[in-house]
Chain A
């Protein structure tokens, strides 16, 4: 079990630039989630996939955000025209397809928008 892998670990970008993060889930997990965590707060749900299908998106996910999971394997989260308010830790997690299955989290990607 290699765990959930996220790249990059840190990203510093200027306001207005686009950024893309990658998440590689645990191989046998069919569900993949993106959460956002600001300093000192709990994670907030952004979106999740069951295999390649994006089944739910939070209202936090504005039209500048897009997530994909081609072929139900790795996932990417892209933020277009970044704003300072996008600065946060972006967490990816994966799980088996049962509602009570625990989420396995990656180390996160910390985004700083200057």
Chain B
């Protein structure tokens, strides 16, 4: 079974600084997708960024980028120029190609942004 582990229950960052959230996963598959989702307090979960396992280039979406290390099964999220609106729970998620969209989520990291 696939597992996703987020070892940092909470992180804090000063506004305008950079923070990195960690995620590791366990799989024997070679073809899969990885995602980071953001869940603000009392609001719906939204997709931040996604990475295809067969692509070596790290995905980037504006201030959000990932460091994907396939051999190490590591998928960290870097948030640059942190903003107050970035404060939320962040979930790392994994899906293998034939899984019918059954995402496996990590336990989440609560990010606090200090003004």
A44 x B105 contact (CB < 8 A): yes
Pick from A3, A42, A99: contact of B101, CB below 8 A. Answer: A99
Of A42, A91, A103, chain B has the most CB atoms within 10 Å of the CB of A42
If A41-B107, A42-B106, A45-B104 touch, does A99 touch B50 (CB 8 Å cutoff)? Answer: no
Pick from B35, B47, B102: contact of A45, CB below 8 A. Answer: B102
A102 x B35 contact (CB < 8 A): yes
Tell me the count of chain A residues lying within 8 A, CB to CB, of chain B. 26
B45 within 8 Å of A (CB atoms): yes
Q: Give, as a whole number of angstroms, the nearest-CB distance from A112 to chain B.
A: 15
Interface residues of B in 86-115 (CB under 8 A from A): 91, 93, 95, 97-108
A48 x B102 contact (CB < 8 A): yes
B46 within 8 Å of A (CB atoms): yes
Interface residues of A in 58-91 (CB under 8 A from B): 91
Q: What are the residues of chain A within 8 A of B105 when measuring CB–CB?
A: 42-44
Q: Give, as a whole number of angstroms, the nearest-CB distance from A38 to chain B.
A: 10
CA distance A4 to B47 in the complex (A): 14
21 A-B contacts, Cβ less than 8 Å apart? A3-B44, A33-B101, A40-B108, A42-B6, A43-B91, A44-B105, A45-B103, A48-B101, A56-B102, A99-B99, A99-B100, A100-B33, A100-B95, A102-B47, A102-B50, A103-B47, A103-B101, A103-B103, A105-B37, A105-B44, A105-B46
